[in-house]
Amino acid sequence: MMKFVSMVVFAGALLSACSSDPATAPGPTSTSITRSNMRPDSVQGFLYYSLDGDSVVPFEKRATNEWDIRMAYLQGEGRTRQIDIFFNSGTAGVGTTKAYVASSRFESVTAADTTKLKNDDTTATARIVSIDLTGPGVFIYQPTVRHTIVPSPDKTIVVRTKGGKFVKFQFTSIYRDAVPSPDELTPLGFYHFRYVRSTSASF
């Protein structure tokens, strides 16, 4: 009798463990990353970065799909007139990374709009991240504020990586050490950015 009761209890526990409970089912996972003073090499011209691997991709692999975003070397002392940011797809690379710019603050972006994702294009008018520093783009030139260039706090880049992950990405500064009050002589071209990577389209 004792043996039969034990088998019943064991069977019940096994069924309970195998049952699907929506309340306890694992949800999407997310990872938050912050990077500072990421500077491209002046000779190579670009810094290649993997959002899947949270790492810089060697220049020698620039013609592969191992990177998601590349950031251009910038000249200081007022000589930068555009900022070239590209994603690895379309005419900008051989990869499958897609993205779009959302007109929302970083914290307000809670999900990716997959209908807006697109391949990148090296044509100036068709790029995901505009090179126009005078319009409402990702970067804004401030002629009356010591001729500085700042990332817009109202723009967030939404990305789908080659690995199928979703990322919300925002530049926070392009000056060395992210000094709070740069001027046109402050060393330029040191990228600071943050992003959240998710296994689903929700962040």
* pLDDT tens digits, one per residue of 45-66: 999 999 999 999 999 999 999 9
Q: For residue 186, which amino acid is it? A: T
Q: Which of 174, 203, 150 is nearest to 40 (CA)?
A: 174
Domain presence at residue 11: no
Domain presence at residue 162: yes
pTM equals 0.86
In this prediction, residue 26 has a pLDDT band, given cuts at 50, 70 and 90, of low
Domain presence at residue 80: yes
pLDDT over 70 (residue 5)? no
Q: Which of 17, 76, 79, 29 is nearest to 199 (CA)?
A: 29
For residue 200, how many other CB atoms are within 10 A of its CB?
13
Query: Which pLDDT belongs to residue 18?
Result: 39
Domain presence at residue 10: no
The residues that bridge with 148 in the sheet, in sequence order, are 142
| Average pLDDT of span 129-135 | 92
Domain presence at residue 7: no
What whole-number distance in Å separates Cα of residue 150 and Cα of residue 83? 11
pLDDT over 70 (residue 6)? no
Domain presence at residue 60: yes
pLDDT over 60 (residue 17)? no
Query: Which pLDDT belongs to residue 27?
Result: 63
Range of 170's domain? 28-198
- Model confidence pLDDT, tens digit, residues 118-131: 999 999 999 999 99
Domain presence at residue 93: yes
The total of structural domains in the chain comes to 1
What whole-number distance in Å separates Cα of residue 117 and Cα of residue 141? 26
Domain presence at residue 83: yes
What whole-number distance in Å separates Cα of residue 49 and Cα of residue 87? 10
What whole-number distance in Å separates Cα of residue 129 and Cα of residue 131? 7
